[in-house]
Structures are given as C-alpha cells and as structure tokens.
Amino acid sequence: MADALQVELVAADRTVWSGEATMVIARTVEGDVGVLRGHAPMLSLLTEAVVEIAEVEGDVVIATVDGGFLSVANDRVSILSERAVLATEIDVDAARADLEAARSGDLTDDEAERRIRQAEAQIRAVEKAS
C-alpha cells in the first residue's frame, strides 16, 4: 500500500514483526511518540515499554521492548531492541511473578527498577492485547 509505513520490529535473535502499518506508537526516553506516514526523520532511545503497531488491515500488534532504538526515515520505521516480545508470546503469570520478585528481591536499585519496568510493560501489553 502506497500510504503505509514499512515497519520492522527486530530483537537481537530474530525479526519479531515486519510489514506495513498505518501508525507506530513507542515510548522513548523523552516520552511517547506516534509515527505516521510523512514523519520527519528521527533516531530515539527506547525505554522498557509497550510498542503498538497499527497494521494496514486494522489489527494492532502489541509488543514489549527492553529499550533499544527507534529509527524513522522515508516512511520506514525500525525498532531495534536486545529483547522484543509480542503480547501473544507473554506468559502474564510469569510476568507478575517477575514483578513481585523484582520488588522484593536482593537486586541493586538500578536492576530492580529495570526488571520492574520490563514486567510492568509485559503485563500492560497483555492487557492491551486482550
């Protein structure tokens, strides 16, 4: 489709999702960003959060990323993260257990915060997808 964005969501070990979309929403270190066709070129750092991809057909792909980069140029969006997971692949019970473990574990403050953000993002992704 000529009016679509070309989107790739890529983790270190695989391409998680690739295709045409009408919109992408992601959380950067500077706040949430929505990308539509014709968006100005940009490169931003992502936080541990939910990414939403509105497919051309009308479905919405929900995923989580553990930080990474968002690149936009010439109606192409690349989301690159060490770890990216589709909401359909998330075990919400395991995410809740990870959240509790991070809140009560013997982790450094930075590590606990990172794991809390990851688990909360996974839980939000599953809730958005259902």
Q: Where are the domains of the chain?
A: 5-86, 91-129
Q: What are 126's two structure tokens?
A: 């599953």
Q: How far apart are CA 55 and CA 43, in angstroms?
A: 22
Which helix (H) or strand (E) is 1 found in, with range?
Answer: none
Instruction: Give yes or no for a contact between 43 and 26, defined as CB atoms under 8 angstroms apart.
Output: no
In this predicted model, what pLDDT tens digit does every residue of 18-47 receive, in sequence order?
999 999 999 999 999 999 999 999 999 999
CATH topology of domain 5-86: ATP Synthase; domain 1 (2.60.15)
The DSSP 8-state label assigned to residue 115 in this structure reads H
Q: What is the pLDDT of residue 1?
A: 56
Q: What is the pLDDT of residue 108?
A: 79
Q: How far apart are CA 31 and CA 18, in angstroms?
A: 24
Confidence of residue 107 (pLDDT cuts 50, 70, 90): confident
Confidence of residue 121 (pLDDT cuts 50, 70, 90): very high
Please tell me the pTM assigned to this model.
0.89
Q: Average model confidence (pLDDT) for the chain? A: 94
Can you tell me the mean pLDDT for 84-110? 90
pLDDT at 2 over 80: no
Long-range contacts of 30-37 (CB under 8 A, 24+ apart): 33/70, 35/5, 35/70, 35/72, 35/77, 36/5, 37/3, 37/4, 37/5, 37/75
Q: How far apart are CA 105 and CA 72, in angstroms?
A: 38
Q: What is the pLDDT of residue 23?
A: 98
**Amino acid letter at 37?**
R
In this predicted model, what pLDDT tens digit does every residue of 57-80 receive, in sequence order?
999 999 999 999 999 999 999 999
pLDDT at 55 over 60: yes
Looking at the DSSP bridge assignments, the partners of residue 78 are 8, 71
